[in-house]
Each structure stands twice: as structure tokens, then as C-alpha cells.
Amino acid sequence: MASVVKIGSPDHAQQIRQVQVFTIVWMLVEVLVSLFSAWRAHSPALFAFGGDSVIELASAVVVLWRFRSGAACETEESRAARMAGALLFVLAACVITVSALSLLGHVEPKPSVTGILILLLAAVVMPLLARAKRKLSTLTGSAALRADAAESAVCAYLSLVALLGVGLNTVWHFPWADPVAALLIVPLILWEGREAMRGKACGCH
């Protein structure tokens, strides 16, 4: 029979639920705007960012579900962490595939003002969310929340790299910059996915 563990105080659990609800609302905006912009501009970088937003949204829902009460089974905590980590590997595969298709000339990325705006906003919002989740992960010892914080951090890094690629294509008309920018984030995604799959809470070794 799986043991039941108490993770953090009721106040911590409430803070986590509030952060996750905000994350879900924000990620819905990111998903809609970034994927629509990616479709219009044929942009691998925006697609990668939009795909990360979908995965971050799913991860936020998983963690919110995990903290629906103050206690949970250890196996449930571990399962939630592995689910969040596995989603990062899915994202890496998507980024590589779409970027390769672009570099091979199947599609040519176009400038996207709307895409640039959502990337700028994400570059501000996502680091704040990642910091808040890491702090709460340290306080509660939640591996699932640590994995979710990693995905928020990846989303922030990806927004900056995607912004660089989309910006270069918009200003200097370098279509290759878009897919190359998307590929640059893949090693980070794989590293964060590995750490999440290992089930480490923030601050744990």
C-alpha cells in the first residue's frame, strides 16, 4: 500500500494552487496566440514556443491536480513528476522535426509582429513564474512542482531564443535564423527533461 505524505503547509498548498491557476490562464493565451502566429508565419521557432506552451499548460494542470488536497501518495507525486518530464522530451522531438523541415526548404518562415509581441511578454512573465515555483518546490519538497518550474524556465529561455530568430528574420530577412534558433534550445530541453524524470525537487541533490 502506498504511503501518504504531507507536502508543505496548507498555506503553501494554497499558494501553489494560485500560481498554477495563473499559469493555466496565461498559458492558454500563449498557446492560442503563438500557434496562430506560427501557422500564419510558417515559423518553426514560434511553433516550438507554442508547443512548449501546450506542454507547460498540461504540466500546470497535472500539478494543480496533484495539489488538489494537502496530502498525496508518494507514488502519485513521482508519477506526476515523470509525466511533466516526459512532456519535455516530446517537445524536443517536435522542435527538431519542424526545424529540420524548414531548413530543408519545405517551408519558409515569415515575419510575425504578433509573434514577437507574445514572445516579449513571455520573456517577462515566465521567469517570474519559474522563480515562484522553484521557491515553493524548495519549501514543499515537491518533485512534480520542480519539474513544472523547469518547464516554465524552458519556456522563458525558448521565448528569448525564438525572439532572436524571429527578429533576425524580420529585420534582416534571414529565414534560416528562425529554425536555427529553435534548434538551439533543444539541448536545454533535453537536460531539463532528464532532471525532471529523475524526480528531483528544487534544492535537492
pLDDT 10s digits, 73-91: 556 666 766 777 787 788 8
In 3-state terms, what secondary structure has residue 5? strand
* Sequential pLDDT tens for the chain (205 residues): 444 444 556 788 889 999 999 999 999 999 999 999 999 998 888 988 888 788 888 888 878 887 775 555 556 666 766 777 787 788 888 888 888 888 887 778 888 889 999 999 999 999 999 999 999 988 888 777 887 888 788 788 889 988 999 888 888 888 889 889 888 878 877 887 787 777 654 444 3
79-132 pLDDT per residue, tens: 766 777 787 788 888 888 888 888 887 778 888 889 999 999 999 999 999 999
The DSSP secondary-structure symbol of 4 reads E
Q: Which amino acid is at 144?
A: A
Domain boundaries, the chain: 10-197
Instruction: Quote the pTM value.
Output: 0.80
Q: What is the CATH number of domain 10-197?
A: 1.20.1510
